[in-house]
Structures are given as structure tokens and as C-alpha cells.
Amino acid sequence: MEKRERKRRGNSRYVLFFIIALLILSALAAGSYSALMKAPWFNLKTITVKNNVSIPASMISSLASKYLEMNLLAVPVSDLKRQILSISRVKSVKITRKLMHTLVIDICERQGFVYVKSLEGDLYPIDQEGRVLEKLTAYYNEDLPILNTYLGNNQLIRGKKLDKPYVKRVLALHQSITANLPDFAAQVSEYYLVDDTIYMVDAKYGTRLIPSEDELIKQLTRYQFVQDNGNIDKNTVIDLRFKNQVVVKAGK
């Protein structure tokens, strides 16, 4: 009985030593990290922006520039990430500290898919989800089709999605064409609605098309064949809603 009690007391002593050693190591690690956070040889001197396309690197760097000469380990990465994500063009961002003096900001952008034209005549790029994006340059550097709308400038708020049914219909239509006929999608210069009917403009031939909801890709392929081998005048309307037919109407 006495031997068992002595054995238990011995085990308890080892556990106590282990806990004390762990506390000492934790204190040393915390102290070392704290000292590194104050060391001037880790001060931030270089900001590198990667994989940006439409967003100027200077726009991202300006958000991080206030942390220059701050200790690299002390830079509030989560706050900086939140500021960068406030740019509607930014889909995601990864920020990495690179010793000794560099902060690497890796951007994943949202790409413009269609320009939305407001009642006032201004163009706003939107992505495939219908989210309004910033126009970050003085000129339109993205070659996108234009969707004419009845929306005012005050309704086109950056970072917000457009929930209008006709906008969603046009986006779904253009996504289908882009996925299946990318060369033809590049020819589409404009979408607009008349009496809830979608029209699209073929910039290559100057014709206007009424796309089919059924067998869209087959009908567009048939139209391309007729256009390449026929003689369809400009300013005509091509109605693709009739199965297995390309109906040419006189334009106004």
C-alpha cells in the first residue's frame, strides 16, 4: 500500500515538472515573438502586388503604404485584407509576409462580362453574377457587349448585384453563347429588349438577331452558316425562334 502511494506521488511530480517546463517555453516563445515584432530589421519596405489585371497595382499598394516602416510581423493583415476586399473588382486576396522586408498581395479579380448602359448613357461593367464593378480607368479597356437598360446611375451601385429579371436573362444567354460559341460571342456588340423580347446585334454583319430559347446553339450555328454562304442585307432582323429555320425580316 505504501509503495503505491509513493509511485503516485512520483508521477505527479513529473506532470508538475512538465507543466512548468511548458509554461517556461511558452513564455520564452511569446517573449521572442514580441522582441521580433519590435526589431527594426523586419520593417516593411517593399509591397508586391501579383495577378492584378484590371486593378492598377498602385491602387492596392496605396492601401498598404501606410504600413511602410512598420514591423512586418505587426502589420494587421486581416484589416488590410478587409480594405482590399472592399474594392468590388477583388474576388479574393491572399497576403503573405516575406522576410525580411516584403509584403506580397496576391489578387484574384472579378472580370467584366457585360457593360450595362444606364438611362444617362453611362457604361458600367458587371460580372457574370450581375455584380456592378468599378470602371478603374478613364477609358473602356474591356471589350464587352453592351446591355441597354432602363436603370439610372443611382441604381447602379458598385459591389451590388442587379436583380432585374431581364438582366439575368441576358447574362444567362451570353454565358451560354460564350461557353459554346466563343468566336461568335466576340461578335455580339449589344443586347436590348423590345416588348420583353431580347435582341442582339451581330457587329460583324450589322444584323440584329432574336435568339431562340430552345436549341439556341444549333440555331446560332445555322444562322452563321446562312450568313457565311448567303447574302443577308445589313439592318435586317434575323428571327431564330422558329425551329430549324432562319427567318429574315425587314429592318426598320
What pLDDT score was predicted for residue 216?
Answer: 93
**In contact, 72 and 104? CB cutoff 8 Å:** no
CATH 3.40.50 intervals, the chain: 114-249
| Predicted TM-score (pTM) of this structure | 0.76
What are the two backbone dihedrals, phi and then psi, of residue 90, each rounded to the nearest 5 degrees? -90, 120
CATH 3.10.20.310 intervals, the chain: 40-109
Quick: pLDDT tens for 52-72: 988 889 999 999 999 999 988
Q: Is 116 helix (H, G, I), strand (E, B) or coil?
A: strand
**In contact, 248 and 242? CB cutoff 8 Å:** no
Beta bridge partners of 192: 199
Report the distance separating Cα 25 and Cα 140, nearest Å: 58
Q: Could you tell me the strand order of the sheet in which 102-109 lies? A: 46-50, 102-109, 90-98
Quick: pLDDT tens for 171-228: 999 999 999 999 999 999 999 999 999 999 999 999 999 999 889 999 999 999 888 8
CATH fold of 114-249 reads Rossmann fold (3.40.50)
At the top level of CATH, which class does the domain 40-109 belong to?
alpha beta
- What is the percentage of the chain residues whose pLDDT exceeds 90? 60
What pLDDT score was predicted for residue 40?
Answer: 64
What pLDDT score was predicted for residue 219?
Answer: 93
More confident residue, 79 or 233: 79
| Reported confidence tier of residue 25, pLDDT bands at 50, 70, 90 | low
**In contact, 221 and 228? CB cutoff 8 Å:** no
Q: Is residue 169 predicted with pLDDT exceeding 80?
A: yes
Q: Is residue 27 predicted with pLDDT exceeding 60?
A: no
40, HSE (Cβ side, Cα atoms, 13 Å): 0
What pLDDT score was predicted for residue 42?
Answer: 78
Q: Is residue 138 predicted with pLDDT exceeding 70?
A: no
- What is the percentage of the chain residues whose pLDDT exceeds 70? 81
What pLDDT score was predicted for residue 244?
Answer: 77
Q: Is residue 73 predicted with pLDDT exceeding 60?
A: yes
